[in-house]
Amino acid sequence: MFLSCGSLHQRGPETDGTVFRIHTKAEGFMDADIPLELVFHLPVNYPSCLPGISINSEQLTRAQCVTVKEKLLEQAESLLLEPMVHELVLWIQQNLRHILSQPETGSGSEKCTFSTSTTMDDGLWITLLHLDHMRAKTKYVKTVEKWASDLRLTGRLMFMGKIILILLQGDRNNLKEYLILQKTSKVDVDSSGKKCKEKMISVLFETKVQTEHKRFLAFEVKEYSALDELQKEFETAGLKKLFSEFVLALVK
């Protein structure tokens, strides 16, 4: 068993949050060492909130990777308010064999590697998210911009009246990692001003980018004064049908 954290790469200024990519090994079945790539997305208010975690290994199935990630997040909950990355790496090195001995909950047997995605994951994907509200808007927007940058996602954060939409385009696995961050980080404040997780987010739409869809070159924050301006944004992006089916339903 390797107790060293292996190679570590840090990305992004500490004031805006940090991404750690750690390469290590842990003991699997029959004392075999399994290489792991662990990515920790630490938000600005870490360690008072859970990090976003992703797992990558060519020797594990996707279902196994999901299980390992879930166990790491469970362990992270017991380490809130104290630095936890190193502790989590040591914990998975010591417990991977036990985790893998449990029955898999998923049905997929494909390898859990982002660099060799399955056919379904090939190419660009696009997803549309709806937020119910933003109380700490300035900080919330800055956090969303940071996550999009770290995960190489493009698109729009759109405000029109009380409607808040996040349109994201990029690698499907990165889109999934964004959702993990969105749901596990304390990105907003509640009515009493305390930091809280985003509980009012919904995925309206997700699909592989089609020929008629515009390729966004950057992630931008935009505000629209009228519904027709928002509609024009979607139509320009080749998403007229998406607007009609999902966005109009939000207008009351």
- Which pLDDT score, from 0 to 100, does residue 199 have? 61
CA distance 92 to 39: 13
Region of poorest pLDDT, from 7-16, 172-181, 219-228, 239-248: 7-16
- Which pLDDT score, from 0 to 100, does residue 119 have? 34
Share of the chain above pLDDT 90, in %: 17
In a domain, 11, yes or no: no
In this structure, the answer to whether residues 96 and 134 fall within a common structural domain is no
Q: What are the structure tokens assigned to 46, written together?
A: 């870490």
Mean pLDDT of 115-131: 63
Which tens digits make up the pLDDT trace of 77-120? 888 778 888 889 999 988 898 888 775 544 344 444 443 333 33
Alpha helix (H) residue ranges in the chain? 62-77, 85-100, 137-150, 172-184, 227-236, 240-242
In a domain, 4, yes or no: no
Domain count for the chain: 2
In a domain, 107, yes or no: no
In a domain, 115, yes or no: no
- Which pLDDT score, from 0 to 100, does residue 116 have? 34
- Which pLDDT score, from 0 to 100, does residue 28 have? 79
Mean pLDDT of 36-44: 87
Average pLDDT, the chain: 78
CA distance 251 to 130: 12
- Which pLDDT score, from 0 to 100, does residue 108 have? 42
- Which pLDDT score, from 0 to 100, does residue 9 have? 42
- Which pLDDT score, from 0 to 100, does residue 92 have? 92
In this structure, the answer to whether residues 142 and 225 fall within a common structural domain is yes
In a domain, 95, yes or no: yes
In this structure, the answer to whether residues 80 and 153 fall within a common structural domain is no
CB-count exposure of residue 83 (10 Å: 0-12, 13-18, 19+): exposed
Q: What is the CATH number of the domain that holds 43?
A: 3.10.110.10
In this structure, the answer to whether residues 35 and 130 fall within a common structural domain is no
Mean pLDDT of 143-150: 88
- Which pLDDT score, from 0 to 100, does residue 182 have? 78
In this structure, the answer to whether residues 146 and 231 fall within a common structural domain is yes
Q: Which residue has the higher pLDDT, 189 or 172?
A: 172
In a domain, 237, yes or no: yes
Q: What is the CATH number of the domain that holds 151?
A: 3.30.70.100
CA distance 174 to 192: 33
Domain that holds residue 76: 17-101
In this structure, the answer to whether residues 162 and 217 fall within a common structural domain is yes
- Which pLDDT score, from 0 to 100, does residue 136 have? 66
